[in-house]
Amino acid sequence: MSAVDDGGVFHRARGRTLDAFSAEKEREWKGPFYFIQGADPQFGLMKAWSVGDCDKGGDEWGPEIRLTEQAVQAINRLNPKPKFFVLCGDLIHAMPGTPWRQEQTEDLQRVLKELDREIPLVFVSGNHDIGNVPTAESIAEFCQTWGDDYFSFWVGGVLFLVLNSQFFYDASRCPALKQAQDQWLDEQLSIAGERQCQHSVVFQHIPLFLQSIDEDDDYFNLTKSVRQEVADKFTKAGIKAVFSGHYHRNAGGTYQDLDMVVSSAIGCQLGKDTHGLRVVVVTAEKIVHRYYSLDELSEKGIEDDLMDLMKKK
């Protein structure tokens, strides 16, 4: 498929940064703020899962359209506005080179265009976006459609790193691209490690782990050797939290001082959680997060205790 052009509506990451935020202006801590994390709208999976054919069954995605519209409407009603809305991968279900991919992409872009223009979107690549075993071609297509597959940006004194976690999973068909991210990541972690930021946070699609650093290998986590190496790099650099999706259920745990946060999906649920979004409040001392169902966030908004955290300078 050819890359889909949204007409320049979205702030795409280019040159390994996000032009929605000025690094010069955003490097200084200015007080508490919050952002919204979502994951796995994955247009097409609900039908594919229901018919038991995840490879070919995703030929309808009306429910995902409605859920993502509800998510956008809920975010648009929030006051104050979140600093940004990050989507942690699996934007659509159709893998590279499979049917329905362009149609799913166009429908997702149409829905996301309704997000308040003052709330930047941050796109993270998932396995369905670039393939379980990505290639230079599949990554190039993602970059043209959604922006860079890995990049960093600053907001309010906090350094955010967006990673292509498929490189951690299987980079056998694009080893040079993985090597480039590894080198770039080491450079970014050195900045974080020198504590030149209030906090540092990572976004990626596949979790390092679901509950514990020493859990068994699974489709939904990274292998033990990889996760240990990456987690040690992160903790050494002082990364506070890793936010991910992929699991279609809420999960997470801690490793040393690192909070591994796994958020359930906007779209298809594979467990007992609800379609939802995570509200993440960043204060001078800590990062506090809470998962809301789309109905809860739509009807009630953010709870008072989280709002109070943002009033403390």
Q: Residue 49: name the closest of 267, 276, 220 by CA.
A: 267
132 vs 127: CA distance, rounded Å: 5
pLDDT tens digit string along 189-244? 999 989 789 999 999 999 999 999 999 999 999 999 999 999 999 999 999 999 99
- What pLDDT band is residue 7 in, cutting at 50, 70 and 90? low
In a domain, 288, yes or no: yes
- What pLDDT band is residue 9 in, cutting at 50, 70 and 90? confident
Strands ordered across the beta sheet of 258-262: 13-14, 17-18, 151-155, 158-162, 199-203, 241-244, 258-262, 251-255
3-state SS class at 174? coil
What pTM value is reported for the model? 0.97
* Mean confidence (pLDDT) of the chain: 96
Query: Nearest 10 degrees: CA dihedral of 217, 266, 282, 17?
Result: 80
In a domain, 23, yes or no: no
Give the residue-averaged pLDDT of 51-65.
93
Domain of 214, CATH number, reads: 3.60.21.10
195 vs 223: CA distance, rounded Å: 29
In a domain, 7, yes or no: no
- What pLDDT band is residue 1 in, cutting at 50, 70 and 90? very low
**What is residue 275's predicted lDDT score, i.e. its pLDDT?**
98
Residue ranges making up the domain that contains 130: 34-310
What's the total number of domains in the chain?
A: 1
Give the residue-averaged pLDDT of 124-128.
98
- What pLDDT band is residue 113 in, cutting at 50, 70 and 90? very high
**What is residue 6's predicted lDDT score, i.e. its pLDDT?**
65
E strand or H helix at 146:
helix 136-146
Neighbours of 313 (CB within 10 A): 8
In a domain, 188, yes or no: yes
In a domain, 2, yes or no: no
